[in-house]
Structure 1
Amino acid sequence: MKWGISLYPEHSTVEQDCAYIERAAAHGFARIFSCLLSVEGDPEQVKHESAELTAYAHANGMEVVFDVAPNVFAKLGISYDDLSFFHEIGADGIRLDEPFQPSQVADMTRNPYGLMIELNASCADGILPATLVHDPDRAHLISCHNFYPQRFSGLDTAFFERESAAVRELGVNLAAFIGLPRADAFGPWPLNEGLVTLECHRDLPLDFQARHLSAMGLVDDIIISNCFATEEELASIERIDRSKVQLRPALDAGITENERTVASYAKHKVRGDVSPYLLRSTWSRVEFANLDIPARPVGRGLVRGDVVVVNNESPRYKGELQLVLKDMPDDGTRNAIGTLPAHEQMLLDYLDSWSRFDILL
């Protein structure tokens, strides 16, 4: 599993790109997506500039995959059966944004340079299973979803899950994009409305997008699609634990230190016998049996997305953390320590019996 960034040298400077590579590498990022679809200039110039980028990336322990299509091959005089151009610029792989014939893709995976060949996973065109029929070198075949610059054009979540599951079933590495929700972030094209794979991610916090993809358990590599992520944004991704579902509630102003202790418990997991009203983490009530948790009136009924801790009024369950799935009355035994914003509530759908999760404070 790798975190990745994207670079668009035609819209930045070498100094900016190199500084970004250094920052990302320091935060554990290991791959770079770059785009040759809008390439201009003669092949030798493109080769020189691209080789500079890949050399600096490799010096910082990062691999580079270039986005290409048949028209790029035509512009640069490249044939599918001679990928030496990409070897000469130091590429680790090429992403085929538009399809070649399945037999050609299979042949490309057997290139003598060890280049990874990455297929577009968003088109539902059957090219991946068709390529597998032609006996590719599976060790050099990977896949990656698209990103979508235009608002409302990103992938539907159910479609994304269906197509991603199909790729996973075939045992092929899969990547997807998340986007910086900032007006000053740029990608390869003039349109600037965000650059996400999933439409539901547009305008949402970067770390949530990454946590959502991680919670699905369908994607191996997650790539920031636009430039440039700040130090804080890179660090927010580095901190994510992809082995758990991680939820970030808006905290109640009256939350106590003892309630914080329960919420930040590192071993939360959903009790196996799931209720339609609650997801329960019961081990915290054993771990924190001696904590004093006075009742704090909620002042309303409990609603989906509330994060609650059982208080002193229910001694047997005191210290248990619960996630509310369905609106229910407040009986005075539960303190609401926070509520998941609407987008964070998406993550509740990925919790089931024995799922491990964190509450991010």
Structure 2
Amino acid sequence: MKRRIGVSIYPDHSEFEADKRYLEKAAKLGFSRIFMSMLEVTDGKEAVRQKFQRIINLAKSLGYETILDIAPAIFEELEISYDDLSFFHELGADGIRLDVGFDGSKEAMLTFNPFGLAIELNMSNDVAYLDNILTYQANKPFLYGCHNFYPQEGTALPYDFFVRCSERFKQQGLKTAAFVNSQTGKIGPWNINDGLPTLEMHRHLPIEIQTNHLFATGLIDDVVIGNAYASDEELAAMAGVNPYQLELTVDYVPKVNEVEKEIVETCQHFRRGDITSQVIRSTEVRKRFARAANPPHDNLVAFKRGDVVIGNDDFGKYKNELQIVLASHTDKRKNLVGTITEDELVMLDFILPWSKFRLK
């Protein structure tokens, strides 16, 4: 399934022109999905129609898919029914996210709406909610999953729980989404905004590392910035993440040589299938650089988890093999060339046998 990046906007807490500038900037960088909250609407049906139609029409012209976040109270406020989704179709929305669920039969029936609206479910519960819906023969191509975000510090999901919830949806082949947090965004649905991530461990990390992590899990197809507005730098950094292959950043040691830099930066790395617990081995690169000299340097230190080492001239046939250290050890036949940045060390767990990865 193709992977995408997206943004969130909150028309009841923002101005159209500011939203317009934000969406235009993000679209130029490749963002293609919008999460748009309707949980706060109080202006009446016609005012809501005009406000949301205007911004959704703009989004369509920029190539976005727009999902509206709704709850039962919205239907009461707008005097509409779950049995007739024409209002959201008229707004131009591509789907609606059900912040609160029903009995399973209702959700299944909604996936057969005549407008082709996607029905997105709340993924942040480790219960058989999805299984129940599917027993009612839901129209699976129109059924999505999307995690919650959590405005209060300390209340977002722990990683192991996130995995269990997400696996329920991925095992059924459904499109999935989760949120990352902008460190500059101040706008969200509520008057408390300590950031809007899905995972608590992400709340204070750079946005590109959050994004890289979610894609690396293999459990999330769409990564969406939960709060508005992300900075230009954050948008560019997130757009630079490879959604399909793990890319890790290496901080070089001062004595790294040009051969080592070329091995690190220009090669398509993959982990050997017959793995070891001590290092991640990228072995094919040594064939390409078999004749390149690589004198010893920084080879008498104790290597630690996350260090990037390359075999030096004393390593025989293993000269110029690249390894990422998983367990501390020493070996003077290897040069320390750099270290994976600390915030990215968690990603080493996703480099499995035969996993492809790049270093930058």
What secondary structure does 2:210 align onto? helix
Q: Distance in 1 between matches of 2:267 and 2:293?
A: 20
CA deviation digits over 1:46-72, x for unaligned, max 9? 111000011000001111101111111
TM superposition score normalised by structure 1: 0.95
Q: Report the counterpart of residue 92 of structure 2 in structure 1.
A: 90
* Alignment check: 8 A CA contact 1:265 1:284 kept: no
Q: CA deviation at 1:252?
A: 2.1
Q: Distance in 1 between matches of 2:196 and 2:101?
A: 22
Q: CA deviation at 1:229?
A: 2.3
Q: How does 1:268-347 map to 2 (within 5 A)?
A: 268-298=269-299, 300-329=301-330, 331-347=331-347
What secondary structure does 1:11 align onto? coil
Q: CA deviation at 1:298?
A: 4.8
What secondary structure does 2:316 align onto? coil
What secondary structure does 2:262 align onto? helix
Q: Distance in 1 between matches of 2:81 and 2:172?
A: 28
CA deviation digits over 1:247-274, x for unaligned, max 9? 1233323322221111113310001121
- The one-letter amino acid of 2:324's match is L
* Alignment check: 8 A CA contact 1:36 1:72 kept: yes
Q: Report the counterpart of residue 170 of structure 1 in structure 2.
A: 172
* Alignment check: 8 A CA contact 1:249 1:344 kept: no
> Which of the numbers 120, 133, 157 marks the counterpart of 1:118?
120
Q: Distance in 1 between matches of 2:224 and 2:145?
A: 13
- The one-letter amino acid of 1:188's match is P
Q: How does 1:1-361 map to 2 (within 5 A)?
A: 1-182=3-184, 184-298=185-299, 300-329=301-330, 331-360=331-360
TM superposition score normalised by structure 2: 0.95
Q: CA deviation at 1:309?
A: 1.4
* Alignment check: 8 A CA contact 1:68 1:95 kept: yes
Percent of aligned pairs with the same amino acid: 41
Q: Distance in 2 between matches of 1:155 and 1:24?
A: 27
RMSD: 1.5
Cα gap change, 1:68/1:86 in structure 2, threshold over 3 Å: closer, same or farther? same
- The one-letter amino acid of 2:343's match is H
* Alignment check: 8 A CA contact 1:210 1:222 kept: yes
* Alignment check: 8 A CA contact 1:70 1:100 kept: no
- The one-letter amino acid of 1:284's match is V
- The one-letter amino acid of 1:75's match is E
Q: Distance in 2 between matches of 1:128 and 1:65?
A: 19
Q: Distance in 2 between matches of 1:316 and 1:50?
A: 64
Q: Where do 4+ consecutive residues of structure 1 move more than 4 Å? A: none
Cα gap change, 1:14/1:106 in structure 2, threshold over 3 Å: closer, same or farther? same
* Alignment check: 8 A CA contact 2:183 2:230 kept: no
Q: Distance in 2 between matches of 1:20 and 1:325?
A: 41
Count of matched residue pairs: 358
What secondary structure does 2:213 align onto? helix
- The one-letter amino acid of 1:323's match is I
Q: Greater shift after overlay, 141-150 or 286-295?
A: 286-295
Please, which runs of 5 or more residues in structure 1 have no aligned partner? none
CA deviation digits over 1:74-97, x for unaligned, max 9? 111121101111111111110001
